Chain A
Amino acid sequence: MESLTAIVLSGIFINNFILVRFLGLCPFFGVSKETKSALGMSAAVIFVMVLSTVATWIVYTYVLTPLGITFLVTISFILIIATLVQFVEFVIRKYSPPLYRALGIYLPLITTNCAVFGSTLLNVKESYSFAQSIVFSCSSGIGFGMMLLIMSGIREKLELSDVPESMKGVPIAFIIAGILSIVFMKYFGRIAL
């Protein structure tokens, strides 16, 4: 039984979603061009991730497992996430227009975000309890958001630097991600939990 502290540390640093598990790379390279959109995207991801963890955990434990249809995990989880994203979009649009303006455009993108789907699958794979699942998805969402922010900061600076023509844009972002990944592995990879 992993302690909650271990799950938080592992989610944010040691098994960082982007640098170590490679989940959520499309938004990582897609919306990391400026800090403002990176902030919006990470807030939306954390929000949806925790909500969908709650929903999928309940469905998995009380519907799929008793009925013995755990092989439907892929289909049911993706449908839950898609429905939830739609629902959240409606609710936010109705009750909080400012929040909708900030997060709205990122929400539809999240349905096909592997970070959200991946975190729900990992919860099942590691057979986390309810509390552990929520802590795990929250901390991996924070890890994701942190990387997105760091990356967007670097890419904003990069606009001014002299990069070879064919490496501009995504290729150089990959190289930077590689360097960041080395840093993360050196600093946090040795921590044994």
Chain B
Amino acid sequence: MSDRPSYIREFMRGILRDNPIFCLILGLCPTLAVTTSLENGLGMGIAVIFVLTGSNLIISILRWQIPAIVRIPSFIVVIATFVTVVDMTMAAFLPPLHRALGIYIPLITVNCIVLGRAEAYASRNPPALSVVDGLGIGMGFTLALVLIGSIRELLGTGMISFMGSTLLQINIEPAMLMILPPGAFFIIGLLMGLSNLIRNRKGG
């Protein structure tokens, strides 16, 4: 970053060039486990955005106070605190979603994306930029989850429903396989291949 970094560029970088799933291959466990439907994917994505933005902000504010030698444990404590907040909030206000996401909510703590951003970005950049970075990376993650969730739900059940209403319905024989674990591996493998293909074309 030579000149003054623009906030919009930082935000878009998280969504496109540094998309955590397709480009950096980070945070895979929740990606595969919770993307059985659009709603679950979105719920997980929002939880990650909150944790990522919050922990980036706090770590960036504290970046001169945290001694380098204990930085990783300190980051983990900050992250785990935000995860606990999300976990309890979701259990109180969205019990069905909380049940569907299960242990994958506490597992956000060990999600490599969150710790990775804390280490690579928030610990060396000012708070405002770190928040934007958290939002951008979080959005990129959420978009990927929503995309994978929608494809799996569409192919697996023949329709996409959101908040009780049907968004899209196609006339196919539902392939149960898609909402079972193997479907997750296939869809993500193919999407990654596609994103590589597009990037290679662009790169010339």
Kindly list chain A residues whose C-beta atoms are within 8 Å of the C-beta of B28.
Answer: 22, 25-26, 29
B174 contacts the other chain (CB 8 A): no
Size category of the A interface is 35 or more
Q: Quick check: B192 and A174 within 8 Å, CB to CB?
A: yes
Please report the C-alpha to C-alpha distance between residue A113 and residue B76 in the assembled complex, in whole angstroms: 13
A117 contacts the other chain (CB 8 A): yes
Please report the C-alpha to C-alpha distance between residue A73 and residue B196 in the assembled complex, in whole angstroms: 39
Q: Quick check: A22 and B184 within 8 Å, CB to CB?
A: yes
B59 contacts the other chain (CB 8 A): no
Q: Quick check: B80 and A23 within 8 Å, CB to CB?
A: no
Partner of B196, one of A71, A117, A167: A167
Q: Quick check: B84 and A72 within 8 Å, CB to CB?
A: yes
Please report the C-alpha to C-alpha distance between residue A24 and residue B193 in the assembled complex, in whole angstroms: 22
**CB-CB contacts below 8 Å: A142-173 with B:** 164-167, 170-173
Question: Which stretch of B1-9, B106-114, B132-140, B150-158 is in the interface?
Answer: B106-114
B44 contacts the other chain (CB 8 A): no
Q: Quick check: B196 and A78 within 8 Å, CB to CB?
A: no
Main secondary structure of the interface of A (DSSP, over half): helix
Kindly list chain B residues whose C-beta atoms are within 8 Å of the C-beta of A96.
Answer: none
Main secondary structure of the interface of B (DSSP, over half): helix
Kindly list chain B residues whose C-beta atoms are within 8 Å of the C-beta of A173.
Answer: 189
Q: Quick check: A174 and B189 within 8 Å, CB to CB?
A: yes
Kindly list chain B residues whose C-beta atoms are within 8 Å of the C-beta of A179.
Answer: 182
Q: Tell me the smallest distance from the CB of A17 to a CB of chain B, in Å.
A: 10
Question: Which stretch of A2-10, A40-48, A49-57, A118-126 is in the interface?
Answer: A118-126
Task: Report the interface size for chain B: residues with CB under 8 A from the other chain.
Answer: 43
B95 contacts the other chain (CB 8 A): no
**CB-CB contacts below 8 Å: A93-138 with B:** 111-114, 117-118, 121-122, 125
Q: Quick check: B193 and A166 within 8 Å, CB to CB?
A: yes
Kindly list chain A residues whose C-beta atoms are within 8 Å of the C-beta of B87.
Answer: 74
Kindly list chain A residues whose C-beta atoms are within 8 Å of the C-beta of B184.
Answer: 22, 178
B197 contacts the other chain (CB 8 A): yes
B83 contacts the other chain (CB 8 A): yes
Kindly list chain A residues whose C-beta atoms are within 8 Å of the C-beta of B109.
Answer: 74, 78, 117
| Residue among A23, A170, A174 with max Cβ neighbours from chain B (10 Å) | A174
| Known contacts A73-B106, A121-B107, A122-B103, A171 near B185 by CB under 8 Å | no
Mark contacts of B169-204 with chain A using CB atoms, 8 A cut-off: 1 yes-contact digit, 0 otherwise.
000000001001111111011101110110010000
Please report the C-alpha to C-alpha distance between residue A116 and residue B30 in the assembled complex, in whole angstroms: 15
Partner of A170, one of B25, B72, B186: B25
B125 contacts the other chain (CB 8 A): no
Q: Quick check: B83 and A74 within 8 Å, CB to CB?
A: yes
Q: Quick check: A22 and B80 within 8 Å, CB to CB?
A: no
Partner of B73, one of A19, A79, A125, A167: A79
Chain B minimum-CB-distance residue to A24: B29
Q: List 24 A-B contacts (CB under 8 A).
A: A19-B181, A23-B29, A25-B32, A26-B28, A71-B84, A74-B109, A75-B81, A78-B109, A79-B77, A79-B80, A82-B72, A111-B76, A114-B110, A117-B110, A121-B103, A125-B102, A165-B200, A170-B189, A171-B192, A174-B185, A178-B183, A181-B181, A181-B185, A185-B181
Which 8 pairs from chain A and chain B are nearest by CB?
A174-B189, A178-B185, A166-B196, A166-B197, A22-B33, A25-B28, A171-B193, A181-B182
